[in-house]
Amino acid sequence: MSNFCDYNSINDYVSELLNKEFDGLFDAGEDITVKASLYSLCAGGKRIRPALFMTVSKMLSVDENFAIKFACALEMIHTYSLIHDDLPCMDDDDLRRGRPTCHKAYGENFAVLAGDCLLNRAYEILFDVCKENPSFITAASYIADRAGINGMVGGQSIDLFSEGKEISLERLKELQAKKTGALLQAAIVTPAFMSSDKNDIVIKLLDRLSCSLGLAFQIRDDLLDVTSNAETLGKSIGKDERDNKSTFVTCLGFDKASEFFENEMKSAYNTLDEIKNLPEGYDVSELRVITDFLMKRDR
């Protein structure tokens, strides 16, 4: 991975590596569930999680050939969550990544299976890498934890249970730290478990960075849900209000939510400085490029 100074270049590089992994993903190419899985997986998306994964891996000198397998598995878990989240029994959405949602294109039954298929295949990939490299087991198990009931699934559960109810800011922060934050945490922290010189201080700082970025990511999402449009975002807007959901905008109001966003971004930049100033002399320039993108993103 050469040195990149804008997000598009990072995205192009990582997308090319990812697409090669996606090419050989399934043997049963004619199966309808496989088609539905690839329909959602290859629909684009910002590829934030794999971009973060590959960038932190590069910073910590993790072998790119192993890192891309993990990044691929993470993007598959993320895509499964979007497919299931869009189902009528969950968030009931018609548009995702600028296309009809998976169940609109393939039907609910195949959309459920496509999510299951991506999730299972993701774990197969992780197991295969661990068979070759048993030292990566902690890293793989960390991803499983962040995707499960202590992380993303747990956040979704709180979210569904809270629908139509007023919840406190603290509860909203917990919900979002799990639902949205946990996979971003997996993207940023997992490479530290793969690195040959595992270092508790780096893990702690990356974890702190991931918490700030995860929270900021969600607040930005809530702000965009009010200010943007479906064409730019590639997904429906104004749904939070329609579904009577608590968001940072409904809890705090637009201006305070914007302030909250700015503060979390400032914390993220401060943590990047702390990582840069460690005696190991880590190069955080590309992590800063991704952080700049997240700060300004309009989709």
Binding site for ligand GRG (CB under 6 A): 45-46, 48, 81-82, 84-85, 90, 97, 152-153, 156, 179-180, 218, 221
Shortest reach from residue 82's CB to ligand GRG, in Å: 6
Residue number with CB closer to ligand GRG (59 or 290): 290
Closer of 58 and 245 to ligand GRG (Cβ): 245
Q: Encode burial over 260-289: b for 16+ CB neighbours within 10 A, e otherwise.
A: bbeebbebbeebbeebbeeeeebebebbbb
CB closer to ligand GRG out of 146 and 208: 146
Distance of closest approach, residue 242 Cβ to ligand GRG, in angstroms: 14
Nearest to 175 by CA among 242, 112, 241, 251: 251
Residue closer to ligand GRG by CB (options 45, 191) is: 45
Residue nearest to ligand GRG (CB): 45
SS3 for 271?
helix
Q: Let me know: does 139 contact 118? Beta carbons within 8 Å.
A: no
Minimum distance of ligand GRG from residue 179's CB (angstroms):
5
> CA dihedral in degrees (274, 278, 280, 281; nearest 10)?
60
| CA-closest candidate to residue 152, choices 113, 185, 124, 178 | 178
CB of 43 to ligand GRG, least distance (A): 8
Q: Which is nearer to ligand GRG, 119 or 202 (CB)?
A: 119
* Cβ proximity to ligand GRG, 49 vs 58, nearer residue: 49
- Minimum Å gap between C-beta 180 and ligand GRG is 4
Six token digits for residue 164: 């139509």
Shortest separation between residue 254's beta carbon and ligand GRG, angstroms: 17
Strands 99-100 and 95-96: antiparallel
Residues making up the chain, counted from first to last: 299
